[in-house]
Structure 1
Amino acid sequence: MSNIHLMKTPLIIATLSLGLMTHAFAAEQVDKQLRIESGTPIQIKVQRGEVLIQSWDKNEVSVSGTLDELSEGFIFEQQGNQLKIEDKMPRQYNGNGKDGSKLTIKVPHTVNLSADTISANLQISQLQGELALNTVSGNISASHLNGKPALHTVSGDITTQGLNGNIQLETVSGEIQDTESQGEINYRLVSGDLNSQTLAQQITVEQVSGEITANWSQAKEIHLRSVSGDSQVSLANSINKANLESVSGDITLTFTQLPDASFDLNGGPGGSIKNSVSQDAPQKQKYLPNEELSFKIGAGSANVKMATISGDLILKRQ
């Protein structure tokens, strides 16, 4: 009988130890609210996981969900003139197999907000104000933001819908997909693709080593610079000014409706020009292999300039 008792004791101790370890690493629940004054800036810091940011009609901030399993504490307090929300993590950790924080944050509809993550994905909607979202390897999904939305990733993707105002979307090696944005928009990409179906009237694109696919039906002014990537852009007759440049990449400009515009195309060294919107043909310079083309459609009130080095310039009508 005593032998059976001795055999059970290590098993009981092991079971209790396992239970304590499981409890120690279990994700902690959080459910907090705090009233804030109108105009109080909000700062959010979450290293990994999923963060959902929503608006509501209260002068309060609410945080609910679970903290990272490796969390060293949760900060949710007024610090100076701003509200700080942070899931504190160790300086060094091995997070393999861990899910990270799962937080839903509700804030007033009009707010100045910044959110910074390392690998956490950010999802944000229905807000107005100065909105700065930054992540290293996480993705950003944003919809119906107004004011000054500025979204930046290093290796994550950016997906947006219905943004309005002075918009900045920037990624290093991720992709950007933007639909139905309005106002003024600036895209910057280093080695990712851009898919833009924006309704913005002023558009700026700076891209290196990526493809551009764009339908800009409401654009009045565009500036596009691309290196080592092809661009396919569709415009309507709303355009007033367009300046498109490429190095080692083709630019195909398609018009759904031809504008009254002056066209000035420079094929540059190693480039060529293909024109299907008029009967005008490119001319070669006498002592250089460059092709050039200048012509007008209608009154020529708008201005369209295209230039390339080692690429093709293609004008088409849909």
Structure 2
Amino acid sequence: MRPNSAFRSPRRWLAMLAVAGVFCAGLGAVSSEPIRKSFATIANPSLLLHSHSGTISVKGWDQNQVEIKGERASESMDVLIDGNAEKVTIQTHPKRQNLSPQEAQVNLEIHVPRQTLVRVESERGDIAVEDLEGGVAVEGVANSVTLSRIRGYITARTVDGPILIRASEGHIKADSITGDLKFVQVNGSELIGTTNSGAIHYQGDFGSGGTYVLHNYSSPIEIQAFPKASFDMTARSVLGTIESQIPFLPLPPGTPFRRSTTGKLLQGRIGTGKSTVQITSYSGTIRLSGGR
């Protein structure tokens, strides 16, 4: 073969470029160093995390220490970490514009003291927070949010991502524009769940003495009450319907059990009515079951 004949063949030249590109891409992925950082803290510090994209996990533990572990998908993402005994902040942001979703990912796993006050802001990626008692606030755009075993003040907000809150109690507020809301064994002094076009699902006993307000515009709202549930219910759907399998009693004192002929209003009591439940939907179907 004549010298440099490989470069004179278009097919061979393109093949060599492809191999070189794969090799360089592999080097770039390997060169991203793992993120490792820890801070000794007080028992109830605060954690503020602002993430551009990536999976986030925050877990409470029985140590007065914040431990941060993570991986960057590429060197095109900056990760800024600062902290002291009382406050730890984490920020991720791109070094340049027009990064692909894969390049922009920074996945983080964080352990914090159980009494930590946690605030997470993110644009994309799954968010999971669990085993905390200091209060949690999550704001996302296209995120899936899961909060488990949280006690205290809890707020979760997304644009179009689903929100799941389970085995938690306290003062709880969850809202989304298009995302679904799901509450499983969630109790508290107040729970407010609002979504425009997403569905709402509640499964539990509504605690003892709390107020529960669930509202959406057009999608179904489903309630599955546990046998020991005790609450007063008012359910309204302006253009939708109400389907109930719960054996409600009339609301005292002297308030009759009322259900309109069009199925748009239902009032009643289960047990001794310890909690208050208010459900409204403009055109969605409200389905009630359980409570026996």
1:272 aligns with 262
Shift of 1:23: 2.8
Give, as a single letter, the amino acid of the residue that structure 1 aligns with 2:234: N
Cα deviation, residue 105, structure 1: 0.6
Alignment equivalent of 2:224, drawn from 212, 215, 232: 215
Q: Figure out how many residues of one structure are paired with residues of the other and give that number.
A: 276
Q: Distance in 2 between matches of 1:295 and 1:20?
A: 67
- 1:159 pairs with 160, 164, 168, which one? 164
Of stretches 107-116 and 179-188 in structure 1, the one that deviates more from structure 2 is 179-188
The secondary structure found in structure 1 opposite 2:219 is: coil
Within 5 Å, give how 1:159-238 maps onto structure 2.
159-183=164-188, 184-201=190-207, 202=210, 203-217=212-226, 238=230
Q: Please, which of 246, 254, 271 is the counterpart of residue 255 of structure 1?
A: 246
Code of the aligned partner of 1:214: I
**Pairwise CA distance, 1:20:** 4.3
Corresponding residue of 1:61: 66
Query: Relative to structure 1, is the Cα distance of residues 254 and 21 closer, same or farther in structure 2, using a 3 angstrom cutoff?
Result: closer
Change in 2 beyond 3 A, CA 1:247/1:107 = same
CA distance in 1, matches of 2:46, 2:251: 47
Amino acid at match of 2:60: S
CA shift at 1:24, angstroms?
3.3
**Distance change >3 Å, CA 172–CA 79, structure 1 → 2:** farther
Aligned counterpart for 2:237 among listed residues 225, 246, 250: 246
- Structure 1, unpaired ranges of 5+: 219-234, 275-291
Rounded Cα–Cα distance in structure 2 between residues aligned with 1:258 and 1:139: 38
Q: Which residue type is aligned with residue 244 of structure 1?
A: A
Q: Deviations over 1:50-76 (max 9, x none)?
A: 111111111111111202425432211
Do 1:185 and 1:200's aligned partners in 2 also have CA atoms closer than 8 Å? no
1:31 aligns with 2:36: yes
- Residues 108-163 of structure 1: CA distance to partner in whole angstroms, max 9, x if unpaired? 11111100111111011111122001111110112111111111111111122201
Aligned-pair distance for 1:81?
6.0
Aligned pairs (5 A) from 1:12-161: 19-26=23-30, 27-69=32-74, 71-78=76-83, 82-90=87-95, 92-98=97-103, 100-161=105-166
Gap change, CA 1:247 and 1:80, over 3 Å in 2: farther
Seen in structure 2, the aligned counterparts of structure 1 residues 300 and 36 have a Cα distance that, compared at 3 Å, is: closer
Question: How far apart in 1 are the matches of 2:127 and 2:245?
Answer: 35
Q: Is the 8 A contact 2:81 2:91 kept in 1?
A: yes
Judged with a 3 Å threshold, the aligned counterparts in structure 2 of structure 1 residues 62 and 8 are, in CA distance, closer, same or farther, namely farther
Contact 2:249 2:268 in 1 (8 A): no
**Whose RCO is larger (CA < 8 A, sep 6+)?**
2
- Cα RMSD (Å) of the superposition? 4.2
TM-score, length of structure 2 as denominator length: 0.76
Report the 3-state secondary structure (helix = DSSP H, G, I; strand = E; otherwise coil) of the residue aligned with 2:27: helix
Please tell me the residue identity of whatever aligns with 2:193.
Y
Query: What one-letter code is carried by the residue in structure 1 that aligns with 2:174?
Result: L
Asked whether the equivalents of residues 76 and 104 of structure 2 are also in contact (C-alpha less than 8 Å), the reply is no
Q: CA deviation at 1:314?
A: 10
Cα distance in 2 for partners of 1:138, 1:293 equals 34
3-state SS, counterpart of residue 129 of structure 1: coil
Deviations along 1:224-246, one digit per CA (max 9) or x if unpaired, are: xxxxxxxxxxx95x22x433222
| Distance in 2 of aligned mates of 1:294 and 1:22 | 63
TM-score normalized by the length of structure 1: 0.71
Counterpart secondary structure, 1:181: strand
**SS class of match (2:42):** coil
Q: Distance in 1 between matches of 2:147 and 2:279?
A: 32
Offset, 1:303: 9.7
Give percent identity, aligned residues only.
19
Structure 1 residues 308 and 42: CA distance shift in structure 2, 3 A: closer
